[in-house]
Structure formats: structure tokens, C-alpha cells
């Protein structure tokens, strides 16, 4: 495989960047009154304004040439057709099958997967309808009121984020809790809020082997068994390993299936989304699926230069590889999307935080950026100073619905004005002369205005995308998530990496198991390890022993 940086088009892009680096976006806008029309597009109910980027038509065309060199159209077709593109795990990445039309056929390993997809949807509908109607009775004959999802990573972030995002559509008789971390505070805080007789625990784990999830699940079960012996109406599982769930004590009827061809970070569309289905109902969940399906159809058919996920992905490559940007900010101006940055962190960084290419070679170029973010306007009062006047080039995605789910006075107008103003300010910046004039107009004397103006210079030329849609509905959320899923895929194709495995996470899990065994050994023998780990163990031990001794010390007096 020819290295990406050896492709002639790569040198073309480097030369193009050298030219673009000297052009300021404020001049591009001044020279082209139609820039917005030229660099924006609509798809699946979303509007993407990518005009506030350091690009021109030549940039987009050249990036699309790079995409063709990387066989992006062929790779998109392979993804959607269920080819085993997850080469290290020899699997497909068929999360798009979960949102295909029921009548479609999608073959994987010679089998049409759609009947099993439909069967699980039907089972989810039947179970969730009972729960939502108050007809799922616990051991004391009372309806379920609290649903506790126990899962981590993609088995937590998807249902957590989407349930929060679609709060306006949630069943008001049900309360949802998400336990993910193994820190005892998480499960204890939740158990303090619920009653055993009215609580349903959903143990969500594709592998049903994740230590954090199993530890929390066992603690929940021990807690429940203090009150009742029949767990059948209070524990269910979502997993690709039903035999492990049954070994835990969950009945077959209470197990929802997912499959190995759905990656954890792409699993919200599957039974991992069951808490969301309980919250918004199957009808709305199918609208959610339909939104993603619309984005899939756009992704599959639109020309590269008019393809929303492709443009987002390529523009991201433009900054990572030709402007050396290290991070990507996600700034949703919407309270209900407060977990969206957290969700995207896993989706993007667990997909593209890699430096081995699909042939196992070391890459010699940058790959996945650090994805972070916060809702607006809050970010403005926390880190936008750095975005505007810091030393880093930090591309930002602004995301905002045009209508609020909670229209009160002019709140949404203020929110919307701030969102637009931030991307505008990032692009425009402020010259020293503009700052000086501003200060003089405000009545400051010549000397002070000249002095202070130097500190108010803002470089501008800071790139951003803005994604608008009418309202944060299930359909629009589905399209938005699919957009970012496909963006991550596009970037993985360009970087020649496998976006669907997560090798290094397994490494960390293995080390933590060995360290846990050492920590729990009574003989305090520290296994041979680096001096840092040994030193930290010893300190932890010392404090532990000290606290144990203190606990055993006789009461004073």
C-alpha cells in the first residue's frame, strides 16, 4: 500500500496549503458574496455551513481527488454492503443494517441479517410497550417506575446521550438512571434513589465480560436479593453473548440480542438503545432510525463534493494533516445535547486514535484528533478565549436547532445569536486598528486606546462548521449521529486505518486485571513492575493498612 504521504496528490495539497495559509477568511468572504451558497449544503434535514473554513473550490476538489485515490467510493459501498472491512476482527461494520427499511435484504456471511434485526425490534417493542403502559409488574405486583442501565462505553454513552437529547419525547412515568463507572459512588448513588420492587436493571454489554459492568451488575443483584429472591422481572440483558447473561441468572425471554457485526460505539441503533425505546417508544425510535437512514442514503449516493459526511471528514483531514491541528471542538448550542460531545469522543477517538494502518504498518502522519466540547453558551464563558486568541488552530463544529423545545421569551434568539456570533468572530478576528477605533469611540484617550488595542488583537481565520436543523427531534438526532459516524469512517479511509477495532483498550484491560489481583492479594507481595507502579501500590497499601488499623483502633476514652 503506497503511503498516504507518498501520493502525488499529497504534495499538491501541501502546496495548496502554503497558498491558503496566506489568505484570510475575512478576505474570502469580502471577495465572494456567494460564499455561503457555494460552501453549504442540505441533507437528511440538516444544513451544513462549511463556508467558514480555510478552503476554496480548489481545496474541496483536491481533497476529493485524494478521497478517490484512497478508493473512498468503493470503501463506502463495502461498508454499506456488509463486507468484512473490520479486517483485524474479520467482521463487517453493519450498524447501517440496523436502520434499513424492513423490506431490505443485507447479507453478512451469506445470511440476510434483516429478519433477526426485525425480530429484535419486535421484541423490544413488545417489552417496552408493557413497561411504558405500566403493565410490567415487579415481584410485589407494582409497575416498573425506574430503569437502571448498567453498561459502559458504547453500552452507556449512546442510550445516555440519546435519552437526554430526546427528553421532550420521554415517558413521564419512568425515571432513567445510567450506571457506568466502577467507582462505587455510581451504583450506590443510584441504588439510594430507587426501590427494588419498582426497578428494572438492564445489563448492557456486548461481550458480557466487561469488569466495570459485571461488578456493577453483581452489586445491583446483591442489593436486590436483600429484598426479594425472584429477579426475573427486574433484571434483563442486552448482549451478543446470551449464554453469559443466562449464566448470570437472566432468563432467555429477558435477553435482547446484538451481534458481533455491530461495534459498541455504533450500537445505539440496536437493542443497546432499549432504554431509549422505553423512554420515547418504538414509534419515535423508528423515526430516529429513519433519520439515520436518510443520512445513509445521502452518504451512499451524493457526489463527493456534495456529500455531507465526506466534506466534514475531508475538511477535518485538511486541518489535521495540513494545518497540524490537534483537536476538534464540538459545540452544541442546546441543553439537551449536553452529552453529545461525550458520545462523540468515543465514536471518533476510539475509531481513529490509531497509528497502525490496515496492513499493520506504522503510519508517518497524524490521524484522529482529540475530540472535546461543551454546550454553548457555557463554553463561551470557559474556553472560547483560547479558541479566539490562543496559539492553537482548533476547528469547531457549532450545532444548533432553529427552534427550541422550550420556547420562553427571547431565550432561543439570544442562544442562536451567540452561536452565530462565535463562529463569525472566530472567522473575522479583530485588527489592532479596529480595536483602537472601538476604544476611541467608547471615549478612551488616544494613548490608552493605542496601548490597550495591542492586547485586543484577535487573529481570526479560525475555522468552524455550523450545522443547523429545524428542531431536535428523533429524526434529526438520527441524521446527526449518522453524519458523524460516517465522518469518522471517511477519515479512517483517508488515513488507511481500521476504524472498527480497539486494540489498545484490550491492553489496558489486561494490565488492570493483573494489578487488581495484586491489589487484592493478602500477602502484599508486589509483583515485579516498574518502580512507579510499585511505589503507588506501596503508598496505596500503606494508606489502606493505616485506615484499616484506625478502623480497628479502640474508641478513645
| Residue numbers annotated as active site | 350, 381, 509
The residue with its CB nearest to ligand F6P is: 264
First to last CA, the chain: 77
Shortest Cβ distance from residue 63 to ligand F6P (Å)? 29
The sheet with strand 40-43 has its strands ordered as: 40-43, 46-49, 464-469, 396-401, 327-332, 370-373
Shortest Cβ distance from residue 320 to ligand F6P (Å)? 22
CA proximity to 234, closest of 216, 221, 247, 248: 221
Q: Residue 171 and residue 159: Cα distance in Å, rounded?
A: 15
Q: Residue 387 and residue 374: Cα distance in Å, rounded?
A: 13
Q: At what angle do helices 432-441 and 446-453 cross, to 10 degrees?
A: 140
Please say which residue, 56 or 180, places its beta carbon nearer to ligand F6P: 180
Q: What is the 3-state secondary structure (H, E, C) of 91-114?
A: ECCCHHHHHCCCCCCCEECCEECH
Please say which residue, 236 or 468, places its beta carbon nearer to ligand F6P: 236
Please say which residue, 244 or 440, places its beta carbon nearer to ligand F6P: 244
CA proximity to 201, closest of 242, 164, 228, 238: 238
All three cell numbers of 183, joined, read 467507582
Please say which residue, 155 or 464, places its beta carbon nearer to ligand F6P: 155
Shortest Cβ distance from residue 557 to ligand F6P (Å)? 50
Shortest Cβ distance from residue 199 to ligand F6P (Å)? 21
- Strand-pair partners of 111: 108
Shortest Cβ distance from residue 519 to ligand F6P (Å)? 21
DSSP-assigned letter for residue 52:
S
Length of the chain: 557
Shortest Cβ distance from residue 344 to ligand F6P (Å)? 14
Please say which residue, 268 or 477, places its beta carbon nearer to ligand F6P: 268
Burial of residue 515 (number of CB atoms within 10 Å: 0-12, 13-18, 19+): middle
Please say which residue, 155 or 404, places its beta carbon nearer to ligand F6P: 155
**368 contacts: CB under 8 Å, gap ≥ 6:** 320, 348, 349, 351, 352, 353, 354, 491, 495
Q: At what angle do helices 72-80 and 57-69 cross, to 10 degrees?
A: 60
**Residues in touch with ligand F6P (CB under 6 A):** 152-155, 205-207, 210, 213, 264-265, 350, 502, 505
CA proximity to 152, closest of 232, 208, 86, 76: 208
Please say whether the beta carbons of 384 and 351 come within 8 A: no
Distances in whole angstroms, Cα of residue 531 to Cα of each of 438, 525, 537, 538 = 58, 14, 10, 10
Q: Residue 248 and residue 243: Cα distance in Å, rounded?
A: 9
Shortest Cβ distance from residue 353 to ligand F6P (Å)? 11
Please say which residue, 262 or 314, places its beta carbon nearer to ligand F6P: 262
Shortest Cβ distance from residue 241 to ligand F6P (Å)? 9
Q: Residue 450 and residue 432: Cα distance in Å, rounded?
A: 8
Amino acid at each position: 500500500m503506497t503511503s498516504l504521504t507518498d501520493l502525488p496528490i499529497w504534495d499538491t495539497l501541501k502546496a495548496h496549503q502554503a497558498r491558503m495559509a496566506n489568505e484570510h477568511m475575512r478576505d474570502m468572504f469580502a471577495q465572494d458574496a456567494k460564499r455561503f451558497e457555494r460552501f453549504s449544503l442540505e441533507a437528511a434535514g440538516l444544513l451544513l455551513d462549511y463556508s467558514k473554513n480555510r478552503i476554496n473550490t480548489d481545496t474541496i476538489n483536491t481533497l476529493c481527488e485524494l478521497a478517490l485515490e484512497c478508493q473512498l467510493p468503493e470503501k463506502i459501498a463495502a461498508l454499506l454492503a456488509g463486507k468484512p472491512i473490520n479486517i483485524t476482527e474479520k467482521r463487517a461494520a453493519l450498524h447501517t443494517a440496523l436502520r434499513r427499511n424492513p423490506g431490505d435484504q443485507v447479507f453478512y456471511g451469506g445470511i440476510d441479517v434483516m429478519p433477526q434485526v426485525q425480530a429484535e425490534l419486535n421484541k423490544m417493542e413488545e417489552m417496552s410497550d408493557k413497561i411504558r403502559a405500566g403493565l410490567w409488574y415487579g415481584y410485589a405486583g407494582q409497575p416498573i417506575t425506574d430503569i437502571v442501565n448498567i453498561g459502559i462505553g458504547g453500552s452507556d454513552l449512546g442510550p445516555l446521550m440519546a435519552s437526554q437529547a430526546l427528553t421532550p419525547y420521554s415517558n413521564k412515568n419512568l425515571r432513567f438512571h445510567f450506571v457506568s463507572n466502577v467507582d462505587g459512588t455510581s451504583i450506590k448513588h443510584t441504588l439510594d434513589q430507587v426501590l427494588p420492587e419498582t426497578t428494572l436493571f438492564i445489563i448492557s454489554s456486548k461481550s458480557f465480560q466487561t469488569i466495570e459492568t459485571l461488578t456493577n451488575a453483581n452489586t445491583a443483584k446483591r442489593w436486590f436479593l436483600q429484598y426479594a429472591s425472584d429477579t426475573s422481572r427486574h433484571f434483563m440483558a442486552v448482549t451478543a453473548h446470551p449464554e453469559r447473561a443466562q449464566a448470570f441468572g437472566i432468563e432467555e425471554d429477558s435477553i435482547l440480542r446484538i451481534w458481533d457485526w455491530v461495534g459498541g460505539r455504533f450500537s445505539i441503533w440496536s437493542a443497546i438503545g432499549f432504554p431509549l425505546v422505553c423512554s420515547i417508544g418504538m414509534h419515535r425510535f423508528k423515526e430516529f432510525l429513519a433519520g439515520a437512514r436518510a443520512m445513509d442514503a445521502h452518504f451512499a449516493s451524493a457526489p463527493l463534493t456534495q456529500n455531507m459526511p465526506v466534506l466534514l471528514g475531508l475538511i477535518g483531514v485538511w486541518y489535521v494533516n495540513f494545518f497540524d491541528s490537534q483537536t476538534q471542538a464540538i459545540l452544541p448550542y442546546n441543553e439537551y445535547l449536553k452529552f453529545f460531545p461525550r458520545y462523540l469522543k468515543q465514536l471518533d477517538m476510539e475509531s481513529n486514535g490509531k497509528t497502525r494502518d490496515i496492513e499493520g504498518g506504522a503510519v508517518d502522519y497524524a490521524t484522529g484528533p482529540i475530540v472535546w466540547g461543551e454546550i454553548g453558551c457555557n463554553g463561551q464563558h470557559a474556553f472560547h478565549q483560547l479558541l479566539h486568541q490562543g496559539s492553537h488552530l482548533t476547528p469547531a463544529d457549532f450545532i444548533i436547532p432553529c427552534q427550541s423545545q422550550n420556547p420562553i421569551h427571547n431565550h432561543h434568539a439570544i442562544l442562536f445569536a451567540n452561536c452565530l456570533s462565535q463562529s463569525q468572530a472566530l472567522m473575522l478576528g479583530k485588527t489592532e486598528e479596529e480595536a483602537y477605533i472601538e476604544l476611541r469611540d467608547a471615549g478612551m484617550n488616544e494613548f490608552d486606546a493605542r496601548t490597550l488595542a495591542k492586547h485586543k488583537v484577535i487573529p481570526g481565520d479560525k475555522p468552524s462548521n455550523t450545522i443547523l436543523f429545524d428542531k431536535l427531534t428523533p429524526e434529526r438526532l438520527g441524521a446527526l449521529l449518522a453524519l458523524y459516524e460516517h465522518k469518522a469512517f471517511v477519515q479512517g479511509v483517508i488515513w488507511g486505518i481500521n476504524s472498527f477495532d480497539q486494540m489498545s483498550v484490550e491492553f489496558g484491560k489486561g494490565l488492570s486485571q493483573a494489578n487488581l489481583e495484586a491489589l487484592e492479594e493478602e500477602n502484599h507481595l508486589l509483583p515485579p513492575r516498574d518502580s512507579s507502579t510499585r511505589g503507588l501500590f506501596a503508598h496505596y497499601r500503606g494508606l489502606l493498612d493505616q485506615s484499616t488499623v484506625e478502623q480497628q483502633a479502640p474508641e478513645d476514652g
